[in-house]
Structure 1
């Protein structure tokens, strides 16, 4: 599929060839797609995709990046010619981070995207609630999160933005257990969010999902040519992929929904966790494999991107969002629009 001047090749056993000034995608020697090279800024390939030598040389000459990801979307390599816009993009990114106004605007956008998606999760839960008391509590929490969203434009510092995010998180996680089946709530009870280490089963499951989303968002930053270490909402620290954490924020509620689905369907049970000395709770080995499979299956599901109005797999959305972020950083888009759940 072609989105934002980027070709995403997801079909296994595809082979890419050069046909005059056109890239041709073949599967089992059958042509599936032709794209003029002058339409492209990047070609992103998932898994083992074949390339012809002439095509790779031509992409380098034309300044079209070739990005290699594994089948799960993990970043492997980015191949570019001698003249690359990548350094200019990263220079623009570093300059944007030093601009307090732009940093604040992007931080607000990142948090707004996360909070809107959290509100969506709560409102959906309220609609599906079987008990009237649960519906009231979930609706009230959603209203509180909506109040936090309204407060964001008035936040004049990163500390204020982070404070609003923290207050919304407390409201959100205080009722998240109400989205668990009543007969499973004791086993998956949580008192707020606990991270390092997680102190209960639900927090352990959420942390596992968040780590997978984090890897995908870091891959998306790398694939787009961005520096994953230099973020806007998250402070820069050695060894911390701050921009990947920024990009990941809007996807956390999607991870929450999948975690709740697995628990409510009985695909993850209380027996799938172990408790270590000191109170840390971890997902055990066999259950990890099942959760990874569920995550990969979820990423294959198609959805309509609200900004592009095109149907794409969920697993491609972080790559699209990273590309939208590059357009904003370069000044090609007035603002960054985070992904919104529907």
Structure 2
């Protein structure tokens, strides 16, 4: 059983991590701020510039503890790992399917179906719970368009066509996303999705959450022996975890988008937690980042009935379960990859 509370997030940029016997030591300004037993951890995520000692890196590699570096704004920088583990036959099958335009289509379609279905579910939940506060006509129209997109996806005969449909569906979804912001609308107004850099506070929040989800997907795929850098929907690019991006597509609406809306609508974060830089990009401050990470960790503990396994599992296990199901499909144990459908 995979524990969900054994991820160490180091959010203070000035922190330095080292090893003392079997204990991780976190220092800031030469003072020890945290000491944790190494054996209790499975992942370490550092939002730091100071770094990690070689001894701690070696210990993480030996114990198969994930060690990921992000900059203080949440952008992925590097991931330290040891020898590649997993079934070599599984990865060879993954590579063959990824290179075959016909074989990759069913898996790529499943990822997009999951994303569009869950995006529509977010809109439907808003209509059910907040009809008095939102533009019902606009949201219903968008929901109907996403329902139609699900039908179109089943007829796509190429990844290029599939990507076009997915892009149109995302445009429809984000076109009404601002209607789902019920409070602090002036501070978190959403016009369109923007990245590199995010142009407003809501985009900065979404990008940060997507970075956290990508890291979860990479770890889940590595765990089951798949190569997170060779995908079926996203094209291969140096340094880009294409399969992790594939996997996170179906999870983004449920994991990231809903959490972002919840944080804003419940006033758990505020506009003062974001700063506009000279480049016009918007970034989170350290205190807000801690709040978001705390909410992320709490959300991972919530239980949900998995639609395929028919078992109740913590939210944080969903990426790992989906990675496992994908591996089973590639091995031939499942006829198709079952995307995650939020109930």
**TM-score of the two chains, using structure 1 as the length reference:** 0.77
Distance 1:214 1:79 in 2: 21
Residue aligning to 1:217: 217
Residue aligning to 1:195: 195
Cα shift at 1:240: 0.6
The C-alpha deviation readout for 1:130-181, integer Å capped at 9, x for no partner, is: 4376122111111111111110011111111010011101110011111111
Cα shift at 1:243: 0.5
Cα shift at 1:186: 2.0
Cα shift at 1:236: 0.2
Residue aligning to 1:233: 233
Residue aligning to 1:339: 340
Q: Secondary structure at the match of 1:303?
A: strand
Distance 1:48 1:207 in 2: 26
Residue aligning to 2:266: 265
Structure 2 counterparts to residues 1-342 of structure 1, below 5 A: 1=1, 8=2, 47-48=40-41, 68=65, 86-131=87-132, 134-181=135-182, 183-254=183-254, 255-342=256-343
Distance 2:156 2:221 in 1: 27
Distance 1:251 1:271 in 2: 29
Q: Secondary structure at the match of 1:210?
A: helix
Q: Secondary structure at the match of 2:154?
A: helix
CA contact (8 A) 1:217 1:248 kept: yes
CA contact (8 A) 1:110 1:338 kept: yes
Distance 2:164 2:82 in 1: 37
Distance 1:113 1:256 in 2: 14
**CA spacing shift, 1:11–1:241, aligned 2, 3 Å:** closer
CA contact (8 A) 1:226 1:326 kept: yes
**CA spacing shift, 1:280–1:334, aligned 2, 3 Å:** same
Q: Secondary structure at the match of 2:275?
A: strand
Cα shift at 1:75: 8.5
CA contact (8 A) 1:126 1:136 kept: no
C-alpha RMSD over aligned residues: 2.5
CA contact (8 A) 2:111 2:249 kept: yes
**CA spacing shift, 1:272–1:10, aligned 2, 3 Å:** closer
Distance 2:123 2:267 in 1: 21
Residue aligning to 1:53: none
**CA spacing shift, 1:279–1:177, aligned 2, 3 Å:** same
Distance 2:225 2:112 in 1: 23
**TM-score of the two chains, using structure 2 as the length reference:** 0.77
**CA spacing shift, 1:322–1:133, aligned 2, 3 Å:** closer
Cα shift at 1:78: 7.5
Q: Secondary structure at the match of 2:137?
A: helix
Q: Secondary structure at the match of 1:308?
A: coil
Distance 1:280 1:9 in 2: 36
Q: Secondary structure at the match of 1:154?
A: coil
CA contact (8 A) 2:4 2:316 kept: no
CA contact (8 A) 1:119 1:142 kept: yes
Cα shift at 1:128: 1.9
Cα shift at 1:127: 1.4
Distance 1:268 1:186 in 2: 14
Cα shift at 1:77: 6.0
Query: How many residues in Structure 1 have an aligned counterpart in Structure 2?
Result: 282
Distance 1:10 1:173 in 2: 30
Residue aligning to 1:24: none
Q: Secondary structure at the match of 2:251?
A: helix
